[in-house]
Chain A
Amino acid sequence: MSLTPAELTSSVTGGIGTSPQRPDGNLKVRGEFAYASDLWHEDMIWGSTLRSPHPYARIVSIDLTEALEVPGVYAVLTHEDVPGANLYGLEHKDQPVLAVDVVRYQGEAVALVGADHPETATRAMKRIKVEYEVLEPVVDMETAADDTPLHPGGNLVRHVPIRRGGQAPTADVVVTGRYEVGMQDQAFLGPESGLAVPAEDGGVDLYIATQWLHVDQGQVASALGMPLDKVRLTLSGVGGAFGGREDLSMQVHACMLALHTRKPVKMVYNREESFYGHVHRHPAVLHYEHGATNDGKLVYVKARIFLDGGAYASSTGAVVANAATLGVGPYEVDNVTIDCYGVYTNNPPCGAMRGFGAVQAGFAYESQMDKLADALGMDPVDVRIANAMTEGSVMPTGQVVDSAAPVAQLLKLVKDKPLPPVSTTLDLRSMPGGVSNTTHGEGVVRGIGYAVGIKNVCFSEGYDDYSTARVRVQVINGELVALAHTAACEVGQGLVTIMQQIVRTELGVQRVTILPMDTSIGNGGSTSASRQTYVTGGAVKAACAAVRDKLAKLAGGRDLSEVDLVELLGDDVVDETVEWRHRATEPLDPETGQGNAHVQYGFAAHRAVVDVDVELGLVKVVELDCAQDVGNALNPQAVLGQIQGGSAQGLGLAVMEEIQTSGGKVRNPSFTDYLIPTVLDMPPMSIDVLELADPNAPYGVRGVGEPPTISSTPAIVAAIRAATGLALTRVPVRPEHITGT
């Protein structure tokens, strides 16, 4: 007999459904939290990376002589020093740890220096002589597949077709559009950083800011030519991730230097290097055609979508699948023809970022829905509601949506909110341009826009997606305490708090310690795809259930709620480890794109109210309200934080955030010119949270982190269109797009 949680939790606070303080909260607010960049080890040396200045070039020669002569230099390493496989990658092993005879993007790692001081390392790097033969870069994603092949198999990384229903449909009303999405950066505040310590056993211990310890471990071990147990990773303080830490940055480099010099090696990127050191959001070109009946019912959607993966594949394949399968949005459409292509170019490599393919598609399909409404003379919200999917709807992949899909309800919620009054006082902070004093009301026009989006939650397409959790209870100083251990990365989102809450609820233990996340326990899976509360939360819940079973056995059939657990346990320890999987998914049919590829769908809707200075092209987002279904808000405050943060990131993409490239070169690798929203750009939000439990998910949760990033961008652009009457087919919208200069 096992206990139910309710029997145990009566006296415990801070369980699920409440918002207890995060264990790392005070430290972070006071600036005392140790991030990976604060790592320190006695006797450590510093590593740095020489990077290619060219987007595409052949390496003619590398001369290390002068660099090695710099006093204080311990090692200068090139591809020849990579002990194991010099190719790695999340989906395709196509990226060299250090470039061999060709560099494919500006910033590609070519050589490493280990030195007694960062300054020494910099000096030595400047003395490495690399002779390049510069080649013409491939930079156009729409023609890349037919251009100079950058990799042995050509430049097409993946093509996902979706064929559903009739392929030659006709409709009363047809709207077409070509849309572009610029390259967004995750812009996490803590740059890439880690410390590699050579171990007695010939292995290495790596302390690292990452979002997936085990996938790092596998790739590092392979590059070092070592068995997995010789490469041990511990999560260090992570200053944000948003997808940008799914790929390797300095992991192998630091370990190579550490093993070579037998010294602890620290590497920290500065902000500029960080822009070259991680993948970005795929820029996209999207061609859409929507056909509808005269009363606004969608008949068909056709789309050709191009995603620029840059020089290496990273997670391009999965991003392509997302953009394709989610390509019509949260709408019922019987006839769908989508071709989505991810390609190699010599632009910066692109991979995971919050929203992962759904963001790019979302901007295009929501722009199309507005265009359709316009063509039909219908209200944009009504058109969406007329086509909104519900539980039981069929996706373009043929998958039936088998839990709540309250798309119409979310739209109604944001539509019915009271509108903000037009500002009558002259407070510059509420004007487009802010305190820069560009308008006192002249040229300012208000606009309102709506959007809704869909995102898959957890890993898809048959991937064996699971998490491992260990929970232990024991009596310490007469008090029952629990300890939870996983390898699932806390990157700032609050997983540590959720784990504590779950253990409190499941075991009725107030004091819950979370062990450092490391590879001494099994895989926790990636902190991405809005999946950790679902999957690692599910694993912790399952481990707690196993612990309860053990306790029940100890109690020998007595009713546990009547038993004093402190007495029952005495000096015993109950310690259970569980591997937990969500229900399985299937691969997509390669010809038709049909298949039950996704685990769960999440939905959010936004209404944006903007004031646009139409003469200067400056935008003030006045309000950005959101409604989202989260299944079950395990931590209501953290849920709101995710919705606010995701919306802000969507706002950034709508009006300012873009890595600008020219001929493959990054033009703005700094926070001086890569702008992210400030408190004067991001308005207060009114948020409605629905909790329509998903019966398939632990506690009924639905992934929270990504959906708000998807609908925020198109809602804001729709509002700018409403204010200006312009088509605005590219994000971020720049002042020039509005003024036409």
Chain B
Amino acid sequence: MDFLRPNTFAEALALKAEQPDAVPIAGGTDVMVELNFDHRRPPALLDLTRIAELREWSAVDGKLRVGSGVPYARIIEQLGGQLPGLAMASRTVGSPQIRNRGTVGGNLGAASPAGDTHPVLLAGDAVIEAASARGTRMIPAAEFYLGVKRNALEPDELIAAVHLNAAPGPEQFAKVGTRNAMVIAVCSFAIALHPAEKRVGAAVGSAAPTPRHATAAEEFLAGELDWDAPKPLLDSVKRRFGELVAEAASPIDDVRGSAAYRKHALAVLARRTLGWAWQDHLGKETRECA
């Protein structure tokens, strides 16, 4: 097996163009597990860890560009204020060791339906910057996940960065696992309020072949929430929202949980996170008025 070690992103793209079946490796927390279990035998590994530009993030006009190689630990530490949803999801990934190495780029590359950042990226309208020797294209998160562990990248493409708006409103992420730490999601849910646009982003993870928007639930809330004169939410609204989120899922029974449980739990998570996010929003409104 070849081990390719480019020093710059341009070099990496050239190598990937030459050898499209070379498997990129960032933190290696997915790749190495697959190799160790002999689930995958790539002809070459393309090591991205020497590429400084992938490990940087920048903020321009409230828009954040997070390099695909920024590890979770740094997202939690440095971006918690601007990207609270992503930081919350990052906080739930694995253990400290995994958060030191694992990256959002790797989560997207693996495109597991259980990846923790996906619902947050969907709810926050993230755009994935995919690059190749041919050029760069911007892929909205909603178009990125194609199937179980399949994404929209072309064989010669690498993920350069993820683009997100600095949280325009409160965000929440919650995940159910059968252990209190270091656990793969049985199901997960992200919500992002977009007050300026008077709408809500909501997405489910680990409850369908791909992470996906809960579109009907989003639309329902857009009609129910009074953004101009915000007041506490009715229980019936939270409940209906929960039901619609559960309906957005098409989960399976597996060792981690039953399909019925996943739907049930998603409804609970949706109700609770909506409550917390809306409470935040109310708090902000009152503070701003005072």
CB of B268 within 8 A of chain A?
yes
- The residues of A that contact B263 with a CB separation of less than 8 Å are 741
Q: Within the assembled complex, what's the spacing in Å between the Cα atoms of A250 and B101?
A: 35
Question: Which parts of B173-191 form the interface with A (CB within 8 Å)?
Answer: 173-184, 186
Q: Decide if A736 touches B261 in the complex (CB within 8 Å).
A: yes
CB of A477 within 8 A of chain B?
no
Per-residue A-contact encoding for B219-240, CB less than 8 Å = 1, 0 else? 0000000000000000000000
B180 CB contact (under 8 Å) in A433, A440, A739: A433
Q: Within the assembled complex, what's the spacing in Å between the Cα atoms of A570 and B263?
A: 80
CB of A673 within 8 A of chain B?
yes
- The residues of A that contact B146 with a CB separation of less than 8 Å are none
Q: Decide if B260 touches A677 in the complex (CB within 8 Å).
A: no
CB of A21 within 8 A of chain B?
no
Per-residue A-contact encoding for B31-43, CB less than 8 Å = 1, 0 else? 0000011100000
Q: Decide if B183 touches A436 in the complex (CB within 8 Å).
A: yes
- The residues of B that contact A282 with a CB separation of less than 8 Å are none
Given that A270-B37, A437-B173, A739-B265 are known contacts, is A678 also in contact with B276, CB under 8 Å in the complex? no
CB of A448 within 8 A of chain B?
no
Q: Decide if B269 touches A438 in the complex (CB within 8 Å).
A: yes
Most interface-central of B173, B175, B179 (chain A CB within 10 A): B179
CB of A679 within 8 A of chain B?
yes
**How far apart are B88's CB and chain A's nearest CB, in angstroms?**
6
Q: Decide if A660 touches B180 in the complex (CB within 8 Å).
A: no
Given that A437-B174, A437-B175, A736-B261 are known contacts, is A668 also in contact with B255, CB under 8 Å in the complex? yes
CB of B49 within 8 A of chain A?
no
Smallest CB-CB separation from A432: which chain B residue? Answer: B180
Given that A437-B174, A439-B272, A673-B255 are known contacts, is A741 also in contact with B37, CB under 8 Å in the complex? no
- The residues of A that contact B181 with a CB separation of less than 8 Å are 434-435, 678-681
Q: Within the assembled complex, what's the spacing in Å between the Cα atoms of A117 and B152?
A: 38
- The residues of A that contact B173 with a CB separation of less than 8 Å are 437
Smallest CB-CB separation from A734: which chain B residue? Answer: B178
Per-residue A-contact encoding for B115-156, CB less than 8 Å = 1, 0 else? 000000000000000000000000000000000000000000
- The residues of A that contact B36 with a CB separation of less than 8 Å are 270
CB of A586 within 8 A of chain B?
no
A735 CB contact (under 8 Å) in B91, B182, B257, B269: B257
- The residues of B that contact A432 with a CB separation of less than 8 Å are 180
Q: Decide if A436 touches B265 in the complex (CB within 8 Å).
A: no
Question: Which parts of A178-205 form the interface with B (CB within 8 Å)?
Answer: none
**How far apart are B108's CB and chain A's nearest CB, in angstroms?**
20
Question: Which parts of A254-293 form the interface with B (CB within 8 Å)?
Answer: 270, 272
Q: Within the assembled complex, what's the spacing in Å between the Cα atoms of A436 and B88?
A: 8
CB of A10 within 8 A of chain B?
no
CB of B194 within 8 A of chain A?
no
**Main secondary structure on A side of the interface with B:** loop
CB of B172 within 8 A of chain A?
yes
Q: Decide if B179 touches A656 in the complex (CB within 8 Å).
A: yes
A736 CB contact (under 8 Å) in B174, B182, B258: B258
Given that A437-B172, A667-B255, A736-B257 are known contacts, is A616 also in contact with B265, CB under 8 Å in the complex? yes
B178 CB contact (under 8 Å) in A122, A429, A443, A735: A735
- The residues of A that contact B257 with a CB separation of less than 8 Å are 734-736
Q: Within the assembled complex, what's the spacing in Å between the Cα atoms of A617 and B264?
A: 11
B276 CB contact (under 8 Å) in A440, A615, A616: A440
CB of B92 within 8 A of chain A?
yes
Given that A435-B92, A734-B178 are known contacts, is A675 also in contact with B261, CB under 8 Å in the complex? no
Number of B residues, CB within 8 Å of A: 35
Question: Which parts of A423-464 form the interface with B (CB within 8 Å)?
Answer: 429, 432-440, 442-443
Q: Within the assembled complex, what's the spacing in Å between the Cα atoms of A615 and B181?
A: 19
Q: Decide if A741 touches B180 in the complex (CB within 8 Å).
A: no
Per-residue A-contact encoding for B251-263, CB less than 8 Å = 1, 0 else? 0000111101101
Question: Which parts of B20-40 form the interface with A (CB within 8 Å)?
Answer: 36-38
Smallest CB-CB separation from B264: which chain A residue? Answer: A741
**How far apart are B234's CB and chain A's nearest CB, in angstroms?**
16
Per-residue A-contact encoding for B274-287, CB less than 8 Å = 1, 0 else? 01100000000000
Q: Decide if B176 touches A735 in the complex (CB within 8 Å).
A: yes
Q: Within the assembled complex, what's the spacing in Å between the Cα atoms of A433 and B189?
A: 14
B176 CB contact (under 8 Å) in A270, A616, A681: A616
- The residues of A that contact B95 with a CB separation of less than 8 Å are 678
Q: Within the assembled complex, what's the spacing in Å between the Cα atoms of A438 and B175?
A: 6
CB of A220 within 8 A of chain B?
no
Q: Within the assembled complex, what's the spacing in Å between the Cα atoms of A681 and B177?
A: 12
Q: Within the assembled complex, what's the spacing in Å between the Cα atoms of A672 and B184?
A: 7
Per-residue B-contact encoding for A718-741, CB less than 8 Å = 1, 0 else? 000000000000000011100101
**How far apart are A25's CB and chain B's nearest CB, in angstroms?**
22
Per-residue A-contact encoding for B156-183, CB less than 8 Å = 1, 0 else? 0000000000000000111111111111
Q: Decide if A438 touches B255 in the complex (CB within 8 Å).
A: no
18 A-B contacts (beta carbon < 8 Å): A433-B176, A435-B92, A435-B180, A436-B175, A438-B272, A615-B268, A616-B268, A620-B180, A656-B179, A672-B184, A677-B179, A678-B181, A678-B182, A679-B181, A681-B181, A736-B260, A741-B258, A741-B263
Residues of B within 8 A of A (CB): 36-38, 88, 91-92, 95, 172-184, 186, 255-258, 260-261, 263-265, 268-269, 272, 275-276
Closest CB pairs A-B (n = 9): A434-B180, A680-B181, A741-B264, A680-B180, A741-B260, A741-B261, A436-B175, A678-B181, A437-B174
Q: Besides A429-B180, A616-B265, 15 other CB < 8 A contacts?
A: A122-B38, A433-B174, A433-B180, A435-B180, A436-B174, A437-B174, A438-B175, A440-B276, A618-B178, A673-B184, A678-B182, A681-B179, A681-B181, A735-B186, A736-B257
